Structure 1
Amino acid sequence: MCTGKCSRFIGASLYPLALTSIICNILLFFPGWDVQYAKDGHITEEVKYMGGLIGGGIMVLVPAIHIHLTGKQGCCANRCGMFLSIAFAAVGVAGALYSFAVAMSGLVNGPLCRVGLIWMTPFKDKENSYLHNQNTWFLCTSPDNVIQFNIALFSTLAAVGAVETILCSIQMINGLFGCLCGTCKSKETY
């Protein structure tokens, strides 16, 4: 595959992933589909780190735009553009890894929920993971279905972060080849 076509493919693939990451992070602010928990500050700590919004979202979306434009015809489809795409892809890798790490931390620690009358993270620092033991989920009485809510969204963020990391890493290699060898575009198209 041509380095320019590869850049266009990677850039176009990163757009929906970044959008998914942003949406998942925003939804995590509303456990139980209620705004009241966010108003009262009863939000899982990892949600406040905004790994999906900043890391997997903005820090991947900006490089995706440049990477996509690198594969287009014109001034960006040259060795300099491919060199810059390496730097932008590195920023994307950093953002995606941040999103992945925050999502995994959110999965491991579990949600903030009300246990009796106290708001706490009941599954944090436990030897046995709550993910494999659904019998302990009854501890969280509020928000409704917060455990399933967090598992679904943090798992999605982790998966998206992993795919973004892979795609941006591939673009770093592709950018290196494009920088050293040039793009496959003929000179007539310029």
Structure 2
Amino acid sequence: MCTGKCARFIGVVLYPLALISIICNIMLFFPDWETKYAKEEREGAGPRITEQAKYMSGVIGGGVMVLIPAIHIHLTGKQGCCGNRCGMFLSIAFAAVGVVGALYSFSVSVVGLVNGPTCMYERLPLPLWGTPFTNLSESYLKNPEIWDLCLEPKNVVEFNVGLFSTLLVAASLELILCAFQMVNGLFGCICGTCNNGKVRRHDVRATIPALAQLSINKENSWRVGSHPSLQ
């Protein structure tokens, strides 16, 4: 696969990954599919939304910072003519931005999984809003039986684990693809995208019949000039 086709493939795959990251991050603001928790926190009732969701790592890091490079990488791969070395060189810088964004999303997702969700949990004398799994000696991820410690929102642990895991996987794939594009862009900058090779082959195929016809015309002219009786 030449560098141009590889760039197109990477760009196309990055689109859905960036979209998934944005959607997952937005969904984290609506645990139990309710809007009241975000509203209560906005009104000053205290923490209701998991802290790592507010960092917007899926929207900014795994989303916008990957989506913009994906557009450039995809368009660079589609352009033909002269190997587009300049575009491939710029794709290295854009891919580096994607790497930074993916790393940001990856890091925040890991912290979100390790710390657990913000929820209302039992604590004498009254239930309390906070992160009950943060200071446990053993990870709550290995002990699903303690997930019921969160009373509200309903099934918030499963909700957060599912979304942060999805963000983690998406960020990992984005990181791999953007890092690979940096290498691919370097080769494309040095060698071209192979598209100009296709253009040259097409031009040669189109030129051969023209040259053959020109040769025939010259031969006919020579024959006519050599035999005056044919004039």
Range class of TM-score, shorter chain: over 0.9
How far apart in 1 are the matches of 2:81 and 2:13?
22
Amino acid in the other structure paired with 2:32 = G
The answer as to 2:120 corresponding to 1:114 is yes
User: Match of 1:10?
Assistant: 10
Contact 2:80 2:196 in 1 (8 A): no
User: Match of 1:95?
Assistant: 101
The CA deviation at 1:180 is 1.0
* Structure with more helix by fraction: 2
SS at match of 1:13: helix
Larger radius of gyration: 2
The CA deviation at 1:76 is 9.4
The answer as to 2:134 corresponding to 1:124 is yes
Residue from 50, 71, 74 that aligns with 2:77: 71
Q: Which runs of 5+ in 1 are unaligned?
A: none
How far apart in 1 are the matches of 2:83 and 2:141?
47
Residue from 111, 117, 135 that aligns with 2:145: 135
The answer as to 2:40 corresponding to 1:30 is no
How far apart in 2 are the matches of 1:143 and 1:166?
35
The answer as to 2:102 corresponding to 1:58 is no
Equivalent pairs counted in the alignment come to 190
Amino acid in the other structure paired with 1:66 = H
Contact 1:79 1:182 in 2 (8 A): yes
User: Match of 2:49?
Assistant: 43
How far apart in 1 are the matches of 2:3 and 2:40?
50
TM-score, normalising length: structure 1? 0.96
Worse overlay, 67-76 or 142-151? 67-76
What aligned pairs does 1:152-171 form with structure 2 within 5 A after superposition?
A: 152-171=162-181
Higher relative contact order (CA 8 A, sep 6+): 1
Contact 1:46 1:105 in 2 (8 A): yes
Amino acid in the other structure paired with 1:143 = P
Extract structure 1 runs of 4+ deviating beyond 4 A.
74-77
Contact 2:10 2:181 in 1 (8 A): yes
TM-score, normalising length: structure 2? 0.79
The CA deviation at 1:137 is 1.1
The CA deviation at 1:183 is 1.4
Q: Which runs of 5+ in 2 are unaligned?
A: 42-47, 204-231
Amino acid in the other structure paired with 1:107 = L
SS at match of 1:173: helix
